[in-house]
Amino acid sequence: MTLCRLQTLLRLPVHRRQALAVKLLKRTLIQPSFNYKYIRDNADELLENAKQRNVHDAQPHRVGILYDEFRDITSQINERRSELNVLSKQLAQQAKDKGLQVNAEEHRAMMSDLRSQAKSCKTLVQELERKVSGVEAQLMHEAAKIPNLTHPDTPVGGELNARTVRIEGLLHTVDRIPNNPSDLSHLSSVEFRDHYDLVRDLDIVDMQAGAQVAGSRFHYWKGAGALLELALVQYAMTRASAAGFIPHITPDVARSSIVDACGFRPRSSAEELELDNALSGDLKAKANNQPSGEASQIYRAIPVAEESRNDDNNDSDPLCLVATAEIPLVAMKQKQILDGSTLPYAVAGLSHCFRAEAGARGRDTRGIYRLHQFTKVELVSLALPEQSQTELERLVGFQTALYRDLGLTFRILQMPTHELGASAFQKFDIEAWMPGRRAWGEISSASNCTDYQARRLGIRARVAGGDGGPPVFVHTLNATAIAVPRLAVALLESFQRPGGEVVVPQVLRPWMMGMDVLRRPASS
């Protein structure tokens, strides 16, 4: 739903605007299974949790009010339907007894009165159904804003409050390039160079062509650089497959409703505000409220042929470019009941990832450290609730083995509340030491999203040998195996030699066509 589409809504009369907003929202929101009673009964705790996670638009108390209103209207509808059912039976009986009536005029009057009552009752039911539809849409919309619960061990606050779990490697202790890659005690007189200078000298990345063709922060891998990307992908996929992850190559697009259900933001802050106002029917809200919150990092993809259309079917659930393969990997099991005995179900997905990276500036935008498009191998696991914490440990263990065998210096961080996003219950980041940047840089993360995504996507499991109760919502977990540009930065800066060459890690050489060292082209 685009901003243009929502602004069109605001020009309609209030009743039509709200009805159309409800229609569009229900069309673009997968029917979630929120526990409204839990939200209502624990509104204070959920509001405090949202504040600690730096989420400002969550209103659990409003959800509680809407839930009670929804239940009250639903009860009225059921009462009126029961009344209508009684009237229908009376009408049928009167019609059946028509020939037995002594006074025909009295019978006609009775039938007329019953029909009038039935008509009034039916009209009231229709009005209540329209009303409850609007309340239900607001209820779902507001409940969807509430972030996941938070693991009790999670540090509170922003990025600076991240807790270091451990550090592996010693490269962060030296400021000059070792003469011997395996011996940090003998250093040259040459300081580490930034990856941007290295890739230009090695002629393995073309940022200028990327900018000319697609805009700033797009790039071409070329020559040995292209082989390096393919080697990293092969390395990650081979290791993941050996560890039991089923390899996938995913779509690079997903419907807006899918992106939303996975905890990403397919709408801008302005669009969220317009939708809030349209659903509430508040004429004054547009003037009194301002967009707030972080800018969406999602790209929307709309076919050219549909851009100018302005009918109810246009742009109802537009495609978005995926920010991570986590989105299509989790969503491919939507609306399914899985066999609990087959869980955890672990997959590895290769995709291109697209991120607007709005607001990024400074040194992070230099070179390939922060791009709008990149290649990534993502790990996703669906687990039973009692399995998910163990599965998170397995994912982090897989990541650390992957980076240890590459020879990187890295640290594992337990991320604080502000860094969890909407979906994560607990999150660990892994940062590699990038000696040319003289800083740690994030290369991967791993998160346990518990049932946040599963409730929104309808992914459940039937527990084998259970008590015959209803299926349970699975827990979804995700972890980065390889995000190519970030890992390439760490490798290039870590394994550079005093003469400007870069040593290729041993584990990548099977896919580098015989290259064990990246060198300047002969023509340079």
Reported pTM: 0.87
Alpha carbon distance 372, 294 (integer Å): 17
Q: Do domains 31-143 and 159-264+323-513 have the same CATH topology?
A: no
Alpha carbon distance 423, 426 (integer Å): 9
Q: Which residues are annotated as a binding site for L-serine?
A: 324, 355, 378, 478
DSSP 225-248: HHHHHHHHHHHHHHHHHHTTPEEE
The token pair at 439 is 């800083």
Give which of 451, 361, 441, 374 is closest to 409, Cα–Cα: 441
Which value, in Å, is the radius of gyration of the alpha carbons in the chain? 29
What is the dotted CATH code of the domain comprising 31-143? 1.10.287
In contact, 482 and 394? CB cutoff 8 Å: no
Q: Which residues are annotated as a binding site?
A: 324, 355-357, 378, 442-445, 478
Alpha carbon distance 351, 202 (integer Å): 26
159-264+323-513: CATH topology is BirA Bifunctional Protein; domain 2 (3.30.930)
Task: Establish whether the linkage from the previous residue to 344 is cis, with ω within 30° of 0.
Answer: yes
Domain boundaries, the chain: 31-143, 159-264+323-513
Q: How many CB atoms lie within 10 A of CB 484?
A: 23
CA atoms within 13 A on the CB side of 61: 4
Judged by phi (left if over 0) then psi (alpha if -120 to 50, else beta), residue 350 lies in: beta
How would you write the pLDDT of the chain (524 residues) with one tens digit per residue?
A: 444 555 554 455 555 555 555 655 555 556 789 999 999 999 999 999 999 999 998 999 999 999 999 999 999 999 888 888 887 877 777 777 665 555 667 777 777 887 888 888 888 889 999 899 889 989 998 999 999 999 999 999 999 999 999 999 999 999 999 988 888 888 999 999 999 999 999 999 999 999 999 999 999 999 999 999 999 999 999 999 999 999 999 999 999 989 999 998 766 556 666 666 666 665 444 444 444 456 778 898 888 777 666 555 555 788 999 999 999 999 999 999 999 999 999 999 999 999 987 555 666 678 999 999 999 999 999 999 999 999 999 999 999 999 999 999 999 999 999 999 999 999 999 999 999 999 999 999 999 999 999 999 999 999 876 667 899 999 999 999 999 999 999 999 999 999 999 999 999 999 999 999 999 887 65
For residue 330, CA distances in Å to 151, 188, 258, 324, 458 come to: 21, 48, 9, 11, 11
Tally the residues of the chain: 524
Report the 3 state secondary structure along 328-363.
Answer: HHHHCCCCEEEEHHHCCEEEEEEEEEECCCCCCCHH
